[in-house]
Amino acid sequence: MIDLTGIAFLDFEASSLGKHGYPIEVAWVFATGEEESHLIRPAEAWTDWAADAEAVHGITRDRLIADGASVEDVANRMVAALTGHSLYATAPSWDGQWLSKLLRAAGLPRHSLRLQDTDVAHQEAATDVLRAAGVSAHLHEGLLREILAGAKRRDEELGAPEHRALADAKRERQLWQDIRRRAEDVAARFGHSA
């Protein structure tokens, strides 16, 4: 079985999706439920701002300046809290870009932390449960499709994401938990099969 203490779901919000956009909020939720969220005060060189992005996440630049933690404080906290964990994001190319920009601005190596796609976590969670229950390997592919499709339908029923880092990271953890539960239900039916 997978080590639940080693998994975290991470999400960023950004000033814009443009070339000069930057991270404004980050949050993570460990598989065990512990969570953190941080507003990020823009670095001096970070000036790009998109009104349409603000309309989505609802965070103003003035709020970041007043309430955000420094780039260095947020980056150092992330490295301290997340080093050694498997980090998952739904949009690893975007979130990876924000993570890299944050780490570099704080003077840290941009690969101090690495993100993987949450799809990897979903497949590993279901496969680990099926394997541990003794479900025959030749059944895994079909059962995995069934489990993931059911969880995806349930997630879509919840509607659009909130576009706030903590809420979206929590939603990813909930989806992952739903996949594990579904895999356990399937494993109960097919476990120790020949």
126 neighbors 182 (Cβ within 8 angstroms): yes
pLDDT at 190 over 90: no
Model-level pTM? 0.91
- Residue located via tokens 């498997």: 86
Q: Tell me the residue type at 62.
A: D
Q: Tell me the residue type at 91.
A: A
What whole-number distance in Å separates Cα of residue 166 and Cα of residue 55? Answer: 17
Residues written for the chain? 194
8 neighbors 88 (Cβ within 8 angstroms): yes
Q: What is the pLDDT of residue 40?
A: 98
Which tokens hold the place of 189? 């039916």
| 170-186 pLDDT, tens digit each | 999 999 999 999 999 99
Q: Is 122 left (phi over 0), alpha (psi -120 to 50) or beta?
A: alpha
Q: Which domains are seen in the chain, by residue range? A: 4-116 (3.30.420.10), 118-190 (no CATH)
